[in-house]
Structure 1
């Protein structure tokens, strides 16, 4: 609430804050109280700074207060005082000296801080300083005690198999249930529904999401499949994530590594209180809950975890060099296709270890054929002038469209030898495969291009041959392997 132009008195800014966006009248109430105080003390409000639904325990997310402090410290704020409803609105910092520090910064810049609803006047006397410190300590203690109460309440709800987290995640939705466990309402993502005496459990989401989750688990167990290949297949078939975006390696990993999909819900695995960094909790203090129905069987989940652990083993550089030499001796040549078909390791393993396939060839002593060397030289030449800045998804697609328009076709080779485009590996990381990027701009990749994309990108850390050579059964390493 700002005064009309022409008001007399000292110009002042008002700072408003509410801790939660469910306090519908808090900001209006603060503004009215501050306006009444300002009128009776000879101030007129020229600017308002508001933090909506932001906790006062830290400065991190309080953009309005940070902007207010920046304007004050610049030296020409256009006002001589800051009006705040009370000490707790300025902040509930766990260290009371932090609130005093920000106030002192303003006073040093010639801007006073006034607390309009307090019983004392912030006039710099010893008594006002003592009362402020007590009030700041009380505000911090209120947040600490409230945090402990909420933590205890959540622990009780978890032990009673209720959901105390945020969104349910892919394949699930939050359901409001009464004391008997009967479902009253199923919430969409972002929807808030509250009713006294009711709590939250997870229920299965839309059937197509449930089927996609089951497919992800089943597909990953196939020989040669990885996070990357599963995400690429989902994107090529147009099975979008629930926000309409693409499936990424991180999203696939998040599904495959989450025990809630087999009904093993472990709550309280991390703790974050009063703006402190998130901390891991000792597994013995986790709460085992059945607040969500399983989507896949525990046996399937355990087999997936076994494969994930098995595939995470990293070979040494010496092992990789010996493997490249073996493939070269067996095939008479060394190429990405030969490595994909014959090696026990996937292409990404060699790229990660050596920084690229050309460096891997050099490390094992392989001399390229003239045709291979010519193509490699063109890639190296393009690499010298290749843009290095990070592009957005639309920018990457626009560059791919320009290449298509220029040549009338698209291929991974064209992308790699074009100095004005990022390397094809950039498209693989951002889209799951370069073939997915082709589809995104309306270009239909041929069967050969799909195969080449799969060969070059590889199925992650291990190749299909890994399962054939090292021994797998139903996607899980056999005993003793």
Structure 2
């Protein structure tokens, strides 16, 4: 910052006339392009030029912008503003993305509205628009918020692809090694560099982590667990009780339980397989247990400490437990477990001596959620959207087929690309058909999220808004190609002329675009 600016020569000289303001700064990692110091410097320049005095700073350092949770500074800011403790009337933020990269832009809008109602106006110092409440400011903010969320989504896709590649190369991606194993740091040439202790992480980007056998005494315990289960017909609980009597503890220093023994018996890392993506927490939205076909694996990536044949015998015994039971019997056991605990989870199931494993319920009923619903249990978090998405994937080919039929009935030609799902009409333009699930906000307002995929560059995106039951189309948006890059559109019941001009109650207008007309031959 220049000395002239600090002395107020180009800014506002009379400090008594300055408007009291707070600043909010945030960064996700230490490697981020815009550090909190850089943000503060630009905000100070903005304040000097506009007549603001920064009297308070709220900083979230090393915090993701995907959610409010975990960002103590922004929570404290809202508390100060809404409680009347705030001694400022303006809030200065570097740009829209620093407030958050919410996947639901309504969260950012709600934050700003709460501040505004409390008499605190927000200014985005580095943006090319004034946050003055005008229609253009609203449009720019909506677009910027969508792009901020889209940036995180695209980054998530890239990170997932990079992690998948590393798993397939045989490298470990996070998580504790487990009892009997250790994390080994290797360089880019796969040369060992040392063992990583609990809580330690690699510090050089090109270094990688693999799993290696742990101390011989731990390896011997793991092998004894497998032999006891197969050769001596001992249950997981009996093995756990024996380990505890011997004074042994798990890798986390805790007593052994049926569940911890069970996890050792079913984890493929003990036969050297590198398996990842069993569960996912993409964009910090919801923990999801992925189906087996989505798992990423590399067999024989590490040195095995359990014989593969012995491991296979263990899996056969565990699978046989549920094979002997009918569907009704498995559900009766689950219902009894629910009555005993008042709730269900994978951990509760795996800790129960007389209950098939959680994986057995997933395999038999197509997922734990399905099994839960059959015994009348609803988890605290609503996962119903998973079933809705499954139904929408089933409807998608039918809707595409209906569009192909409708175009053909008016004399047009349409061809579906089976790889991209783009429909080419009359060899003139392409269509992308997107189904938008109906969802409700916490206040009961209707929302539809639409992904515009510009990598495929469709000429028209046919956005199908589903009805409240997500069973049939409610209406359609015929959206022409926009040069805005990939984007999410978040629609509500009424979206203003800018978007609702593209809304149609049926696809007749789309079919009319495809209609071929005979031209009279020129004289």
TM over 0.5: yes
The aligned residue for residue 284 of structure 1 is: 293
Distance 1:29 1:238, change over 3 A: farther
1:264 to 248, 273, 288: 273
Give matches, 1:30-109, under 5 Å.
Answer: 30-109=39-118
1:246-278 superposed Cα distances (whole Å, 9 cap, x missing partner): 233332222222111112333233333222323
Using structure 1 for the length normalisation, give the TM-score.
0.59
Distance 1:97 1:175, change over 3 A: same
Distance 1:25 1:139, change over 3 A: closer
Residue 173 of structure 2 is aligned to residue 164 of structure 1: yes
1:234-253 superposed Cα distances (whole Å, 9 cap, x missing partner): 22322222333323333222
- Partner Cα separation in structure 2 for residue 28 and residue 354 of structure 1: 55
Distance 1:355 1:36, change over 3 A: closer
Structure with the higher strand share, 1 or 2:
2
Q: Contact 1:163/1:291 (CA < 8 Å) preserved in 2?
A: no
Distance 1:27 1:213, change over 3 A: farther
- Partner Cα separation in structure 1 for residue 257 and residue 41 of structure 2: 49
- Partner Cα separation in structure 2 for residue 269 and residue 172 of structure 1: 20
Deviation for aligned residue 1:313: 7.1
2:142 to 129, 133, 137: 133
The aligned residue for residue 245 of structure 2 is: 236
- Partner Cα separation in structure 2 for residue 135 and residue 262 of structure 1: 49
- Partner Cα separation in structure 1 for residue 30 and residue 240 of structure 2: 37
Q: Contact 1:147/1:273 (CA < 8 Å) preserved in 2?
A: yes
Residue 470 of structure 2 is aligned to residue 461 of structure 1: no
Deviation for aligned residue 1:131: 2.6
Q: Contact 2:27/2:34 (CA < 8 Å) preserved in 1?
A: no
1:79-125 superposed Cα distances (whole Å, 9 cap, x missing partner): 32222222111011123333122212211221112223334332223
Residue 309 of structure 2 is aligned to residue 299 of structure 1: yes
Distance 1:48 1:237, change over 3 A: farther
Runs of at least 5 residues in structure 2 that lack an aligned partner in the other structure? 1-14, 342-347, 356-523
1:354-410 superposed Cα distances (whole Å, 9 cap, x missing partner): 969xxxxxxxxxxxxxxxxxxxxxxxxxxxxxxxxxxxxxxxxxxxxxxxxxxxxxx
The aligned residue for residue 444 of structure 1 is: none
- Partner Cα separation in structure 1 for residue 315 and residue 94 of structure 2: 54
- Partner Cα separation in structure 2 for residue 202 and residue 57 of structure 1: 32
- Partner Cα separation in structure 2 for residue 270 and residue 251 of structure 1: 18
Q: Contact 2:19/2:51 (CA < 8 Å) preserved in 1?
A: yes
- Is the partner of 1:461 in helix, strand or coil? coil
Structure number with bigger Rg: 1
Structure with the higher helix share, 1 or 2:
1
Distance 1:25 1:246, change over 3 A: farther
- Partner Cα separation in structure 2 for residue 123 and residue 355 of structure 1: 58
Q: CA RMSD in A?
A: 3.7
Matched residue pairs, number?
328
- Is the partner of 1:274 in helix, strand or coil? helix
- Partner Cα separation in structure 2 for residue 354 and residue 87 of structure 1: 49
Deviation for aligned residue 1:32: 3.6
The aligned residue for residue 318 of structure 2 is: 308
The aligned residue for residue 144 of structure 1 is: 153
The aligned residue for residue 213 of structure 1 is: 222
Using structure 2 for the length normalisation, give the TM-score.
0.54
Distance 1:89 1:58, change over 3 A: same
- Partner Cα separation in structure 1 for residue 189 and residue 74 of structure 2: 46
- Partner Cα separation in structure 1 for residue 304 and residue 139 of structure 2: 57
